[in-house]
Chains A and B, each alone.
Chain A
């Protein structure tokens, strides 16, 4: 029983983190129909921006009110979205919307490579540490185990992000406009929807969510070159399980992967790496389009 509780808690923590890093990827695919391989780099830039922002916060006397470092983290992620969102969408991706999917994927791969070097130019190769926010909230004791309260903050953020994205898309006028663009871009344009604006704002939100994932991870790791590479692989696994473009799918996919991985680490550590892809393969055997993706008729 105790073991089951640990698996659930560990799985929930990891799944929450996975959801945050993958929800932006699925949102951008859902709206813009782009498989953004640069998502991992945007996550890494979010982590770097956070490291710089939190570092600056404490350097400027933030010790008086350390909780303010959480605001600095979110500000760092928002800054990344404000700068890189319009730059990439308006400056680059917009010119490729009418091209083949493969071309767009290659373009985002090019962006990924460029951003990896840009990070080295800006922040160098020496790792950055901002572990203060991680230990700021203390520990929670669950049976024989200590958990860092920050881990539960990540769960809370994941729930808030998931609910907010779902609410905006399904319960607001702006969200319905986005859904209209997803269903039929040309028709929406004919009806007077500013599709270009919808694309740009959606991409910016996608960038913000990627950067937020990096921002929340930064206090737990040493922020160094290459941290975005693994994230993009696992984020893809999650969104494929859930169904590309589905927010609910990303949430369920992240939870599946998180709990399966936690069970494996506790019970069968040899299968830790394999289990994520086993879950993905098992889902795709029965639901090739993912858990929450509806089968769509091809438009001719």
Chain B
């Protein structure tokens, strides 16, 4: 080899080495950067009928909490550590509007293109039933944070999917218990619920609970108007004509607002005791148009029902939310918060077990299974569905307009322990209700 060729070869080798070193360096830098962030896809309704009631307040609460966590030291212990285990949280919001088929595609995009570390989302029960099989197929750690259908884990079993909020049976069981314990006259009861899974299931759970707790109580008309119907004049006539002692409803959003606006002037609230399974979220919009004396649930110890039992964690979030959005947080942000705090707890538990590395999907799933953590809505425990489905305490109260503060308040609030209004693991909610709530632990 001549000196010239040797020099050329040496030069080429050096260049290659330099390039390789640079590439290795860049690659190492890339891993380091990835280690610093934890990407989550947040899927909720940002448009459509459920946006204003559930999706937007939830995302408002989510953004607020993610900012607080990323700053670090804002929330009280054990949530004072920055981000998730020191990693900055990067959220990618996705609109849930468009139906289950679209959401399955969006889910695949989040997992395969965006390479998110976890997906947290889904208000619609239809989406909550469509996503879990795909999540397991892709082995993608997924949290269902809001939807209510009990069928997700009662009829299915998934390795990578968890739900951090109680399913809907709790809401209607609690309503029936509230009426019995408060001695509310309920010799007859009627219902108006939307004609889809949520409305039908809510009514079925309420009827079963009433049959069990107040066997003498007689069921009257059950109305199922179309979702987003908006016009309830005829239904209100039918309810008034029935003269039922109690009118049950799981209406939500604009439908519930329209129902209250139309039923109020026609005297339905004076003639019957109206009980709204998930009615708290319309209070900020309706204000004093929501009549006094309406029994209201919030799908957990959420919203106004959380305030009397507020912890320092609740207070920090409540005040920050109120300051930023000029209204108090209703149930939707509470469920988003408990989902995010559950995810943070699982990530940090998994990191403690793997030596501080960013956990993979399997490590996250192992950490989340059977997890317990404190949320603004009380203690959340993953005890149903083999450790994949949460139970949480619930609260029911009665509306009362406070003239001094010019705000709606909840009075006569009754709190229910999670084991009092949720079935034990392995038992379907409807079977548990029909069997007379065996094993219920009520304080």
From 4 to 58 in chain A, residues with beta carbon under 8 angstroms from any chain B beta carbon are 6, 9-11, 13-14, 17
- By beta carbon, the residue of chain B nearest A138 is B265
* B285 touches A (CB below 8 Å): yes
| A126 and B261 form a contact (CB under 8 A) | no
Task: Please tell me if A148 contacts chain B, counting CB pairs below 8 Å.
Answer: yes
Q: Quick one: closest A residue to B261, CB to CB?
A: A131
- Closest chain B CB from A11 CB (angstroms): 8
B195 in the interface, Cβ–Cβ < 8 Å?
yes
Whether A221 pairs with B241 at a CB distance below 8 angstroms is no
Query: Given the complex, which residues of A lie within 8 Å of B47, measured CB to CB?
Result: 120, 125, 225
Say whether B240 contacts A144, CB under 8 Å.
yes
B253-267 interface bits toward A, Cβ cutoff 8 Å, 1 = contact, 0 = none: 110011001100111
Judging by beta carbons under 8 Å apart, are B226 and A273 in contact? yes
The 9 listed contacts between A and B (C-beta, < 8 Å) are A10-B233, A129-B261, A134-B261, A146-B267, A148-B262, A221-B261, A225-B49, A266-B234, A269-B238
Across-interface contacts of A221 in B (CB, < 8 A): 230-231, 254, 257-258, 261
Once the chains bind, are A222 and B254 in contact (CB under 8 Å)? Answer: yes
Q: Please give, as numbers and ranges, the residues of chain A lying within 8 Å of B262 by CB-CB distance.
A: 134, 148, 220
Given A148-B265, A272-B223, A272-B224, residue A261 in contact with residue B258 (CB < 8 A): no
Cβ contact within 8 Å between B237 and A6: yes
Identify the interface centre among B51, B262, B265, B267: most chain A CB within 10 Å of its CB.
B265
Residues of B within 8 A of A222 (CB): 254, 257-258, 261, 285
Q: Is A229 an interface residue (CB 8 A)?
A: yes
B52 in contact (CB, < 8 A): yes
Say yes or no: A125 contacts B52, CB within 8 Å. yes
B223 partner, pick from A11, A145, A265, beta carbons under 8 A: A265
A166 at the interface (CB under 8 A from B): no
Smallest beta-carbon distance B352→chain A, Å: 41
Q: Give every chain B residue within 8 A of A6 (Cβ-Cβ).
A: 237, 241
CB-based nearest B residue for A230: B228
Which one, B222, B257, B258, contacts A269 given CB within 8 A?
B222
Which residues, 13 to 57 on B, are CB-close (under 8 Å) to A? 47-49, 51-52, 56
Q: Are B266 and A147 in contact (CB under 8 A)?
A: yes
A120: which B residues are within 8 A, CB to CB?
Answer: 47
Q: A126-B285, A222-B261 are in contact. List 11 more A-B contacts (CB 8 A).
A: A6-B241, A13-B234, A14-B233, A129-B285, A134-B265, A135-B265, A139-B267, A229-B228, A261-B234, A272-B225, A273-B195
Flag if B48 contacts A225 (CB, 8 Å).
yes
Interface check B289, CB cutoff 8 A:
yes
A window 174-228: CB within 8 A of B:
217, 220-222, 224-227
Q: Would you list which residues of chain A between 151 and 185 have a CB under 8 Å from chain B?
A: 151
- Is the pair B224, A127 in contact by a Cβ cutoff of 8 Å? no
Q: Would A266 and B241 count as touching, CB distance under 8 A?
A: yes
CB atoms of B231 and A226 under 8 A apart: no
A265-B265 Cα distance, complex, nearest whole Å:
20
CB neighbours of A229 from chain B (8 A): 228
| B238 interface neighbour in A14, A126, A129, A265, Cβ under 8 Å | A265
User: Interface readout for A242-274 with B: 1 if CB under 8 Å, 0 if not?
Assistant: 000000000000000000011001100110110
Question: A145: which B residues are within 8 A, CB to CB?
Answer: 237, 240-241, 266
Interface check B92, CB cutoff 8 A = no
The answer to whether A270 touches B224, judged by C-beta atoms less than 8 angstroms apart, is yes
Determine the residue in chain B with the shortest Cβ distance to A147.
Answer: B266
B221 at interface by CB-CB < 8 Å: yes
Question: Among residues 203 to 255 in chain B, which have CB atoms less than 8 Å away from a CB atom of chain A?
Answer: 221-226, 228-231, 233-235, 237-238, 240-241, 253-254
Does the CB pair B221–A129 fall under 8 Å? Answer: no
- Number of contacting residues on B, CB 8 A? 36
Of A14, A129, A148, A220, the residue contacting B234 (CB under 8 A) is A14
CB nearest to A13 among chain B residues: B233
Hey, which bits of chain A sit against chain B, CB under 8 A?
A: 3, 6, 9-11, 13-14, 17, 120, 125-127, 129, 131, 134-135, 139, 144-148, 151, 217, 220-222, 224-227, 229-230, 261-262, 265-266, 269-270, 272-273
Contacting residue for B266 out of A126, A146, A217, A227, CB 8 A: A146
Instruction: For residue A273, give the distance in angstroms from its CB to the closest CB of chain B.
Output: 5
**B93 CB → nearest A CB, Å:** 14
Tell me whether B230 and A126 are in contact (CB under 8 A).
no
- The 7 closest A-B CB pairs, nearest first, are A222-B257, A221-B258, A10-B234, A265-B234, A224-B254, A222-B254, A262-B234
Of the candidates A139, A230, A270, which one forms a contact with B230 in the assembled complex, judged by CB atoms under 8 Å apart?
Answer: A230
Residues of B near A225 (CB, < 8 A) are: 47-49, 51-52
Indicate if the CB atoms of A265 and B195 lie closer than 8 Å: no
In the bound complex, how far is the Cα of B44 from the Cα of A224, in angstroms? 18
CB–CB A139/B266 < 8 A: yes
A119 to B173, CA, bound (A): 40
Residues of B within 8 A of A272 (CB): 195, 223-226
Interface centre among A135, A144, A269 (most CB of B within 10 A): A269
CB nearest to B237 among chain A residues: A10
Taking CB atoms, residues of chain A closer than 8 Å to B229 are: 230
Complex: A226 Cα to B51 Cα, angstroms: 11
User: Cβ of B254: which chain A residues have Cβ within 8 Å of it?
Assistant: 127, 221-222, 224, 226-227
A147: chain B residues within 8 A (beta carbon):
266
- Determine if A144 and B241 form an interchain contact, defined as CB atoms under 8 angstroms apart: yes
Query: Considering only CB atoms, which chain A residue lies closest to B222 in the complex?
Result: A269
Closest A residue by C-beta to B48: A226
- Closest chain-A Cβ to B271's Cβ sits at a distance in Å of 9
- In the complex, what residue of chain A is closest to B285 when comparing beta carbons? A127
Cα distance A224–B48 when bound, in Å?
A: 9
Quick one: closest A residue to B97, CB to CB? A226
The CA-CA distance from A266 to B223 in the complex, in Å, is 9
> Do the beta carbons of B240 and A129 come within 8 Å of each other?
no
Taking the nearest CB of chain A, how far is it from the CB of B247, in angstroms? 14
Q: Which residues of B contact A146 (CB under 8 A)?
A: 240, 265-267
